[in-house]
Amino acid sequence: MKGIFINVDSYNSEGIKTIQGNNNAEIYKIYVLENKRRLNLANKTIKLGYVMAGTTKGDIIENLNITNAEQGEITFPITNRISKQDGVYSCQLAIYGADEFLEYTATFGLTVEANIFTKIAGEIADSKDFTYLENILDKASKLSEKLKENTSSATNANSNLESNITEANNINSKLLENTSTATSLNKNLESNIDLAKEVKETIKDLDNKNTEATEKIETLTGLNAKATELSNNIQQGLPLNSELVKNVESAKTANNELIATNNDAKAKKTDLDNSLEEAKKYISGLDGSKNPVQMQLDINELKNGLKSNQALAYKGSSIAANNTLEGRTEGMMIGGRTLVNLVNIRKMILGDSSKEIAFENDIIKFKKAYPNEITYLKVPFLSKPNTTYTIVYDVIKNNVEQPDESKYIIYPDGVFGDFNSTMNTFPKNGQIGLNKICLNSKSTLFGTFSLGFHRVNVGAEIWIKNLMILEGDWTNKEIPSYFEGLKSFGEAEKVEDKYKISISSGYNLIDTKKSESGAYLYNNGNFVSNASYKFVTIEKNEGILQSNNIATGIDVHITYWENENFIKGVILNKGESIEIKPPNNCNKIRISFNTRITEIVFIKYNKKDILIKEPLKENDIMYEDNGQVKVCRDKSQYTVTGTGNEEIAKGTSLSNTCLFYFNINRKIGINNIISDKFKTKNVFSVDEEGIFGSANSSTIYIRISKSKLSTQDIEGFKTWLKTNPTTIVYQLATPTVEVVENCVDIDLDTYQEKTYFNILNSLPGTLDFKVPSNIASIVQNTAREVNNIWDVINNLLVPSIVKANGNITMIKLNNNLK
């Protein structure tokens, strides 16, 4: 049973995490808090609504089970109703009073991880495609029973064989009399070969349905158990084969030409006929060319087909792939990305708070200088109506004492919802590290919001840096490193005249189960013992350190050592992953982590650097083709500077804005434009700022506020561009393809059980590939058991009969079977 605390009056970082298809395997205790105290739920009813992120798919669960009203406790079992579909969900508790009026709401997250076995599972119980395999196993089972029955007879025959060895020299002539009988028997065997087509067609049908075999793997589990039982029965007969071989070798030593009496030959003929009746059920898999080994080849082809279907597809920038096999990825494609940081801290407005806010080295420093006044900063950004945005920043200092939490706010200024919806979003007392706030813009815009606090102690300070506003919901995504303006994948990693794309795969070096207590944390040159932390020690390695559930602040400390002598320390902030590059004199790395962290990994990676001519922009794709690595470019980039290279013309002016346009000599698509200075919107006849293109032409239009221009003409616009060069990424009418020099392969190594894949650039794109996996192991095991059955037929039954009767035609057949 797990427990989470949900606040009705503050942001909730805790949430529920489960696996797709979970049905009553987990029960959560939800404790509802108000002002950090348990909320009394007496005479209350509670509903839970949930919706998948980015969609309208969701449901409402009525009347949650209140198990301890005074302690605010709700018991919430995870059922397949809520875990039916994998994805990220937003959840909201609605708490109603006795009069059915809504009194409280609280929002938190739900993550349903994909269940690979659920995805591949199918309904195959009545599928005729697999009845063939069941029939084969049924026949094999019957053969096993027959082998058991024949054990006693075979033992008696062996005893008779030993007694007859001394008579072999006297009855050699009798063997000739049996030749005609053996010849007739051989014709019998040849006529049975005609039955090969039936099972041959069955094998072909199984091969055609190979893909469905992987999807319908669950039913085969039961069949595998049958095959295992059959294999055990067959194994019991193997000692008999060994004894038969030894005795036959003795017979050959005694007399190279084994002879039986006429009566004994007739008895052997009867045994042969009985055995052949069992053998032909399986030998019927041979084709008309009398090639008994063909069925074995077909089974190998089927197994190879099953193996090819073990590759699972993955896509993302940071991926942990389970159930992997040692090998290589397949079909690796690297996708580009272009982002815009919609805020420019150098153009913020201090307003009336200039005495309380300072900018130093790109750090925004808030300080409460006067009581009963609001300390805030106006933040302009390129906002669009009815759009989701994520505000990201790092808090590096926070010494607020006993704050009034209801006054830690982001003021909406008409952009983000109503006033109350944006309260409680600023960091609480002492909290430092990464902060992410996801909000939706309104239909009416002012283009700014205000960041600040109110009603805190005089002298309180909060310092923030790396402020970014990104379009979209980044709540459950890895945040790129801080950047300004418009940037694309690889642009920050320029090497001379090329741009470096760095990708890696690796495996985990840390076993948290072997962690030790009594960790010492490194803090400003000092070591402080902390009982809430454990530590692990590993040998010197380069790699990536990740933690999947850092709660708040600094929960991971990395220290480098040389023979127990401390060298230096590094910290891992909330929400970060960090690339570890130990100093040259380091031989040990010690990683200390908070006990509430359930998974921390140190990935020893296989790194690959790829140098390309330009960064990978949005929708650009890098891939392999005929032994070459190529880049299909869907986007291009242009910077207009106002220096005279562009032929700028003036369009229609409106009350507050002027329209200008110019050509870039490439056809572009309308609305497929991203700019670092203007929002993308067709404002041809709209009196607001924006940038847009004309479909299937080379013209780009910019509408700009008159207040930004020294003169409201082309020269005034060029003057503005010289101090505000505007970068534009636009879609090409026809994609171009370029070959990457000195690179023939972008696939990565995979490792046993679990492999981690990462993009190491500061602004990552996406990896799209397939990786070998062992999900079809059940089918492989079943095929292996069928193969074992054939080994018994080939190596035990037929050879023993052939050697016991000296039939030359059967010897030829035996050679083919081997």
Mean pLDDT score across all residues of the chain: 75
**183: Cα within 13 Å, side-chain hemisphere:** 6
- Residue 735 has a pLDDT of 87
Backbone φ and ψ of 38, nearest 5°: -60, 130
Backbone φ and ψ of 779, nearest 5°: -65, -40
Q: For residue 672, is pLDDT > 90? A: no
pTM: 0.54
**Bridge partners (DSSP) listed for residue 314:** 769
Q: Are strands 448-453 and 408-411 parallel, antiparallel or unpaired?
A: antiparallel
Name the CATH code of domain 502-611 (choices 3.90.320, 2.40.10, 2.60.290, 3.40.50): 2.60.290
Residue of 239, 81, 455 lying closest to 247 (CA atoms): 239
Question: What are the residue ranges of CATH 2.60.40.3350 in the chain?
Answer: 2-120
- Do 111 and 17 touch, CB atoms closer than 8 A? yes
| CA distances, 323 to each of 311, 333, 767 (Å) | 11, 21, 19
Q: For residue 620, is pLDDT > 80? A: yes
- Do 2 and 28 touch, CB atoms closer than 8 A? yes
- Do 575 and 548 touch, CB atoms closer than 8 A? no
760-799: pLDDT as tens digits: 998 999 999 998 876 544 345 445 555 665 565 556 555 5
Question: What are the residue ranges of CATH 2.60.290 in the chain?
Answer: 502-611
- Do 480 and 466 touch, CB atoms closer than 8 A? no
Question: What are the residue ranges of CATH 2.60.120 in the chain?
Answer: 340-485
Tell me which of 158 and 663 has the higher pLDDT: 663
- Residue 593 has a pLDDT of 82
542-590: pLDDT as tens digits: 888 876 555 445 578 888 888 878 888 777 765 567 788 888 889 898 8
Three-class DSSP category at 111: strand
Three-class DSSP category at 169: helix
Per-position DSSP letters for 370-435, written without gaps between them: STT--EEEEEEB---TT-EEEEEEEEEEE---S--GGGEEEE-TTTBS-TGGGBT-S--TT--EEE
Tell me which of 514 and 471 has the higher pLDDT: 471
183-216: pLDDT as tens digits: 565 565 565 555 545 545 655 565 555 555 455 5
| CA distances, 745 to each of 116, 331, 416 (Å) | 28, 10, 47
301-323: pLDDT as tens digits: 555 554 455 678 999 998 989 88
Q: 795: which DSSP letter?
A: I
Residue of 680, 604, 338, 363 lying closest to 485 (CA atoms): 338
Q: Percent of the chain beyond pLDDT 90?
A: 24
Q: 482: which DSSP letter?
A: P
- Residue 126 has a pLDDT of 45
Quote the Cα angle for 503-504-505, to 5°.
Answer: 145
- CA distance linking residue 427 with residue 398, whole number of Å: 8
Q: For residue 244, is pLDDT > 80? A: no
| pLDDT tier at 289, thresholds 50, 70, 90 | very low
Strand order across the beta sheet in which 516-517 lies? 516-517, 533-539, 588-594, 556-562, 565-572
Name the CATH code of domain 340-485 (choices 2.60.120, 1.20.140, 3.30.70, 1.10.3470): 2.60.120
E strand or H helix at 252, and its extent?
A: helix 217-254
Q: Which residues contact 390 (CB under 8 A, 6 or more apart)?
A: 436, 437, 438, 469, 470, 471, 472, 473, 474, 475
- Residue 740 has a pLDDT of 95
Identify the CATH number of the domain defined by range 2-120. 2.60.40.3350
